[in-house]
């Protein structure tokens, strides 16, 4: 069985990395011949999102994506099925997905609430956003894979064949973290603002959180220990965190997120404090494998306890590791995706 995977980005992009690239070796072991075509390659991704290389524009990204997908259409017939990760132009245009679905079975995978206009970012893209484009893709897909139940509930309005496959990780790729009281966060340039509401918490506790991300940390308005995110240094940076945080505002967009940073913390044995928003509240069992905090008082209490008590950090961290091993491994995800792919051919 041959499958063409159309990803949004190269493996540098977290969504494509966790939803597709890390699954490929396991899918190949299950008898699927995989070919991947990223719309945005490494060089363009570094320029757009990591502030590396020559600056690139959104127009350049759209142009590159359009050219790549037109080329992909020329050899769709060589495959038994096409796996479309998050859409070519989600919320803007569904023409490519329509053309592909007319010729081959399509499995559409998404891990964000892409029917909603994103908060922030380009005003032009927000103005052009059409929920109907996402609905069109969902209707035309032979099967849909959603990253969590919130996304699946939306998808089932337009497609009867929806499977939930949580974003997962490979625990073997992560190294155990030191049992330290360093409070840290890993994210991206677009999610940096999630840290702003915790400023009073950090000030009360007298700490500077360690931040692993791209972007400009000075825009937060308070001091942090900043570490530029790089794929090649990600594991080393994570292993130096002792307490992982995952704050989220309670909005529809954030309810669609899939909690990968929590899984990364847990895989390293790092105890977690998270907002009880969306899938966070499904992964974290309060007081068992981490803490859930819905306001600054609860954030302060949870972090203070973890900073002061190495035994508590160790206990919650070990429980977090067990959570990942039981429910969120890449092997489980690949098995589920394999079943969906075979069901459409």
Q: What is the pLDDT along the chain (345 residues), one digit of tens a residue?
A: 999 999 999 999 999 999 999 999 999 999 999 999 999 999 888 888 886 555 557 778 888 899 999 999 999 999 999 999 999 998 899 999 999 999 999 999 999 999 998 766 667 777 788 999 999 999 999 999 999 999 999 999 999 999 999 999 999 999 999 899 999 999 998 899 999 999 999 999 999 999 999 889 999 999 999 999 999 999 999 999 999 999 999 999 999 999 999 999 999 999 999 999 999 999 999 999 999 999 999 999 999 999 999 999 999 999 999 999 999 999 999 999 999 999 999
CA distances from 165 to 92, 151, 168, 200, 339 (A): 25, 11, 8, 36, 11
- CA dist list (Å): 337 to 213, 235, 304, 326, 340: 29, 26, 41, 18, 5
- In this prediction, residue 47 carries a pLDDT of 83
Structure tokens at 45: 């991704």
- Write down the pLDDT at residue 45: 87
Distance in angstroms (rounded) separating the CA atoms of residues 137 and 119: 22
Quote the CA–CA distance of 192 and 229 in Å, as a whole number: 12
Of the candidates 10, 22, 8, 16, the one whose C-alpha atom is nearest the C-alpha of residue 329 is 22
**pTM greater than 0.85:** yes
Structural domains in the chain plus CATH codes: 2-168+329-344 (3.40.50.2000), 171-327 (3.40.50.2000)
Quote the pLDDT of residue 121.
62
- Cβ–Cβ < 8 Å for 104, 127: no
pLDDT at residue number 56: 59
Using CB atoms within 10 A of its CB, is residue 82 exposed (0-12), middle (13-18) or buried (19+)?
buried
The first and second tokens of residue 69, run together, are 């997908």
pLDDT for the residue 53: 56
Within 13 Å and on the Cβ side, how many CA atoms surround 295? Answer: 1
Give dist(CA 168, CA 326) in Å, integer.
11
Q: How far apart are CA 188 and CA 174, in angstroms?
A: 19
Number of Cβ within 10 Å of residue 10's Cβ equals: 20
Which pLDDT does position 48 carry in this prediction? 80
Residue (of 115, 173, 110) closest to 145 by Cα position: 110
Residue 120: its pLDDT value, please? 63
CA separation for the pair 186, 174 (Å, rounded): 14
H or E, element range at 84: strand 81-85
Give, in order, the Cα–Cα distances in Å from 255 to each of 168, 203, 307. Answer: 17, 28, 28
Alpha helix positions (H), 211-329: 234-238, 252-255, 260-267, 280-283, 296-308, 310-327
- Which residue, chain included where needed, has tokens 């931040």? 211
pLDDT of residue 125: 73
Task: Provide the pLDDT for residue 335.
Answer: 98
CA distances 344 to 49, 200, 340, Å, are 35, 51, 7
Please list the alpha-helical segments (H only) found in 103-148. 123-128, 131-140
């Amino acid at each position: 069985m041959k499958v063409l995977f159309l990803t949004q980005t190269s493996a540098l992009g977290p969504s494509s990395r966790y939803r597709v690239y890390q699954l490929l070796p396991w899918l190949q072991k299950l008898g699927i011949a995989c070919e991947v075509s990223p719309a945005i390659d490494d060089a363009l991704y570094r320029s757009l999102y990591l502030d590396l290389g020559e600056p690139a524009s959104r127009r350049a990204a759209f142009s590159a994506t359009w050219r790549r997908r037109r080329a992909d259409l020329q050899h769709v017939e060589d495959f038994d099925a096409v796996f479309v990760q998050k859409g070519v132009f989600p919320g803007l245009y569904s023409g490519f997905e329509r053309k592909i679905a007319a010729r081959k079975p399509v499995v559409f995978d998404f891990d964000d609430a892409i029917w909603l206009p994103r908060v922030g970012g380009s005003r032009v893209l927000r103005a052009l956003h059409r929920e109907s484009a996402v609905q069109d893709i969902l209707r035309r897909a032979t099967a849909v894979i959603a990253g969590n139940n919130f996304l699946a509930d939306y998808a089932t309005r337009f497609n009867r064949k929806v499977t939930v496959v949580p974003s997962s990780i490979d625990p073997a790729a992560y190294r155990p973290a030191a049992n330290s009281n360093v409070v840290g966060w890993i994210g991206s340039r677009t999610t940096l603002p999630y840290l702003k509401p915790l400023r009073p918490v950090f000030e009360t506790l007298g700490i500077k959180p360690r931040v692993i991300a791209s972007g400009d940390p000075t825009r937060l308005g308070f001091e942090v220990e900043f570490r530029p995110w790089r794929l090649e240094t990600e594991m080393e940076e994570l292993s130096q965190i002792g307490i992982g945080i995952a704050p989220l505002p309670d909005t529809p967009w954030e309810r669609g997120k899939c909690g990968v940073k929590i899984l990364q913390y847990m895989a390293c044995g790092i105890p977690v404090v998270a907002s009880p928003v969306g899938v966070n509240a499904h992964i974290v069992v309060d007081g068992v494998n981490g803490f859930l905090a819905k306001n600054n008082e609860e954030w302060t209490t949870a972090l203070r306890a973890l900073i002061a008590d190495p035994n508590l950090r160790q206990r919650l961290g070990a429980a977090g590791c067990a959570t990942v091993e039981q429910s969120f491994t890449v092997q489980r995800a690949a098995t589920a995706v394999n079943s969906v792919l075979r069901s459409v051919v």
